[in-house]
Amino acid sequence: MTRILIIGPPGSGKGTQAERISERLGVAAISTGDIFRANVKGQTPLGIEARKYLDAGDFVPDSVTNKMVRDRLNEADVQDGFLLDGYPRTTAQVDYLDYIIAGKDEKLDVVLQITADDQELVARLLGRAKETGRSDDNEAVIRHRLDLYHEQTEAVVARYAARGILARVGGIGGIGEVTDNVMSILEVLFKVPAGNGQ
């Protein structure tokens, strides 16, 4: 049974890696973005609450996000483990995730941080914006998003590093190469079996 968090800056390929790693390990990939969309689309009480903030362009408060994640982690497909992407973003959320997992008499195995140089990420995201015609993604906006990421995640990463469960993996390189590096680290350092993937 494997329980992993994946953390990484915008443009690091974290979402792609989350899908590939979860497939290799045979565990559910859970993205907070997907949880929000499912709740909003399904018009659940939490989705209706979250929509008010999203429509106003505000962050969804921890109280709403925490409950959505708790509900998702109680679903049947995560009994054999999970790979959680996009949560926790704050130390308060770290505490709440500890509370959810401890309530199930479980623990986190690994926190995987995908790293990349900001300059490389800016170039990558500007290229992506050009390809997709996203004029709102200019260099100033991208750098602001990266600054926010560093601000938010520094304390979160420090918490998990202190517990000895943090693994850093370079996110620059071919997609398959990064996945292989992740799997090697999981197997060698954390004794996580490579699973039934390719």
Q: Which residue has the tokens 């109680």?
A: 74
DSSP 78: G
DSSP 66: H
**Residue 89 a catalytic site member:** yes
Per DSSP, the residues of 137-154 read --HHHHHHHHHHHHHHHH
From 14, 20, 24, 124, active-site residue: 14
**Residue 72 a catalytic site member:** no
**Residue 159 a catalytic site member:** no
Instruction: Say how far apart CA 43 and CA 37 lie, in whole Å.
Output: 10
**Measured at the alpha carbon of residue 50, what is the angle toward residues 45 and 53, in degrees to the nearest 5?**
145
**Residue 128 a catalytic site member:** yes
**Residue 52 a catalytic site member:** no
Starting at the earlier edge strand, list the strands of the sheet with 166-170.
28-31, 81-85, 2-7, 110-115, 166-170
Question: Cα 38 to the chain's mean position, in Å?
Answer: 17
From 67, 70, 128, 159, active-site residue: 128
From 3, 24, 72, 89, active-site residue: 89
From 52, 107, 130, 134, active-site residue: 134
Residues forming the active site: 14, 89, 128, 134, 145
